[in-house]
Structure 1
Amino acid sequence: MSDSHRHHLSTHHHRESSRHRCELFHRPPSHSPSPSSQSTHSLSGSKRTSMHVHEHYPSFHISSSSHELRIVNRDTLAEIIDEMIIHAKRVKQYSIDTESEMTNNELSLIQINSMPGDSKSIVMLIELNNLPSQHSTKYEKVCALVRWLFRLDNEIYGWGNIHRELEPESKIISRPLLAKLIDIQPHFSTWYNGARTQCWVQSPSYRINITKDGTRTIQQLNQDSFCRCHSPSPYKPNELWSLQNALKYACKLHLDKTYRLSHWSASLTSNRSRLLYTDQRKMIKYAVHDVLAVTFLLRPIMENWTFNMIETRNMKDVFVAFESIELAQLQTTIKKKKKNIDVQKLARIFAAGDSDIESISSDEEIYLHQITQQDAEPVDENYPPTADNEDDEKMELELAITTAHGIDNELIGDGHAAANYCDVEGTVDIVQLVPDPTDQQRPQRKKKIRSTEAQKEHNKKRNDHLRLFRYRYVLKRSYYYRFRLKLIRKILRHYGVLFRHVKFHGNQVIIGVKCAQDREQYEDALPSYCFDRKNYWRFKK
């Protein structure tokens, strides 16, 4: 082999390997099984479940060319706010998300993504703790922008309860909210299960047929109703999906949530911010992609896209306005209690009383109206009873008592028997029911008992969840430097303040309360001098 030919082969091999590595880098993780597992599956004909979700997925990233970024704070120019107002007047559909400060869980950032029909989409980051002065014209323009965003007939889509997330903010957002707020999170589970049934990558079942001459033929019987390329839901039927898992399972993309718990009250653009420049850039990127993820999943849920439509989507069609569609109401299952009579129990009672009575078949059903209203004959009150009539009346009385016995077993659950009844002339008027101690009571369901380690883990999760709401609604007061938390709690109880938690922050005391109404009530009831030097020596004694 010549040197030139050997060099040509090595160059060709290098290009092929480079192209192969490039394809592996850009190609999403594959869920197709190995050839050996495929052959085993096809010959066995058994139904396989979907494969486990890969731990590593490509990051969810939207190019900046598909949208424009606008950050609203005290440093924003008035001309930029005017452009945003003009843009908001033409757009009717938005997606929204919020972020809270990690130290006190106060609403600090609102992310809004517009979906225009003809212009480029805009992502707006409104910093609530860094807005212009309330007496400036720039602040009035920010309020006007928010009014246009939440005006009547606008559609704002979010992942979660938008009313609850925007409840703490009452300065620039007027109440009541006129825009139509739509939560798409509860509808994702229904769409995902439906998309799996429509997926074309399904699991076929086969049967091997052997003819008389010994030849084998493989016959495809049917296909599973769920695809093999997307895993089943990891949640229970009534549980809500997280946005991160929704992208992971539906689109095989990873949404980075590293900066979810951050100091969102600090400025994202100012040089005087306590945040580093690199942290500012990363937090802005997270906030932008968090709201774009809601927009990314919006049309698939609203228009019932298939997984193939998501993979072959055009990015320009994702962030534009679409025809408004009314989401279907979520179905709720209601368990109805049976009102029928226990047929077998009624047959055993009849058989014990009279052997000549015909036994009742198990496939027959007896309803209450069939016993009480069927073939009712009028009875002459003046007609003198005879021996035959007395026997008929006894049979009717036994039937009524047994019927009441079966109905009471079905409705109440405990055994009852008829004890006292009045004289009957043709029909039964009153049947008094008393408990029958001979019948065995239904066993009570045992309460699930956790182990010690499981109980500790449960308590830890519960405490971590409650810790997030300690400082959602806060009061701030200055304090004398000798104060300790024990004495501060004593003074708060003296003024009748029902606090959740108390801590020191700088030269102020942060007092967490339960709700916004308590904050307004205690703001007037708790004086500003409650933690001064005079009160310190007063309550110290």
Structure 2
Amino acid sequence: MSFIVKPSQLRDPAKPPTDLAARSLKNWYKNTNKQLQNYDYQLNYPPFYVPDVCYQVFHIHRYISLEQLQTIIAHIKSCRSFSIDMESDRYTHELALIQIHTIPSQLPGIVILLELFHLPLVDTILFQQIYSLVQLIFYSALNYINLQRRFKPWIERTLPHSEECKSEHINSQPYRCDCIPHIGTKETWSLQKAVRYACNQFLDKSYTKSRWKKLLDPLYSTLPSPTLNNMTYYAIYDVLAVSYLRRPVLESWDLDQLKEATVASLLTVPLFTFGELEDISDDDINGTEQTSTLNLIHEPQIADELIIHADDLNLLSDEPTVLPSIPTQLLLTKVKSHSRRSIQSRTKRNKTRNSTRRLFRYRHAIRRDLYHKFPMFMVKMILKKLNIQFVHVTRDVNELLIVIKNKHLREQYEETIPMNYFDRDHYIHAKQLLK
């Protein structure tokens, strides 16, 4: 899956806005170049793809059940390697989402989306379980490996040079060339370029700057379905791409090895690695030395989210180091509140937002004839008995509008709800059942 961008939606670098300050104009050019590069890669390379059977997705927030948390914790105890990414909100720049991909010995792994603005209250059992889960991953006895120093020399010595490049620079070291980006410089690689040059695939970065403070779980989110699907896809694949490149870099594979490798071999830890390690126990968490590999980010970089620091390729240092307790502190820190808007400002904002939502409210609606005495509470009761997952029901003169969340469900329910299900005879029958 990738987000199709129309040419008409692309910015033209030759036509920048005239009312921007110097710093804003610089950011505008930077984002425009990223957009054009994203579009160019989209046209010329197949999308980066990991089969759904290779991972399960869990959203961690105040609505998750204790049973689901226990399932995740049991899985984490069997893993030694994790890839971690973070996203900050587009407007507030506050850390809002932590993505964690477990790398087990056998698939499927788990992709955890920890939604920091939607956690339960600190004094609840549910929060304590989430806190324990985070401790399992970030406990202080872990050693972690920095791939950042390794990725750049690995990709630069692995990628083949053109014949012209070889002949021109054969005796000049170090040197710069056009066929491999960043060579001969201290510039770091973006995750998108890493996937493009190492895998010849396209990793879409269209949704890098998004409202990550919004709830992403499709069961509870209020975001429009297309936006929600795209943001969730982006969050999942951003952390999967990190895991995908882990073994080639650490084990110094060549490009042929990477090309011939299976997804299972790239997203798992070889069994021999586990033979050298003991199982994680409570004693280990409390302070026993443990040799493990954790690909961790230190802090979100919104302005440089495409740069492979620790937050993109999870490229960390090789020396045994005590991990910072950033995620634990984040869980216990009260989120800063916004400054209060004026009543007029809130009214204007709500009116604009409601007008936009109203345009799409009846996009997936089912229409049925409606007897004029049929009350809405009775309609909703009947729909619930039929297991119809509706978003909204309303009367439109002599018709009933049943708003469904998506096209697939609407097509399914069209056959489930008879055309005359809300006529006079059914009204009388339903009224008798309520007596």
What's the TM-score once normalised by structure 1's chain length?
0.41
- Higher fraction of strand: 1
Task: Give 1 or 2 for the bigger CA radius of gyration.
Answer: 1
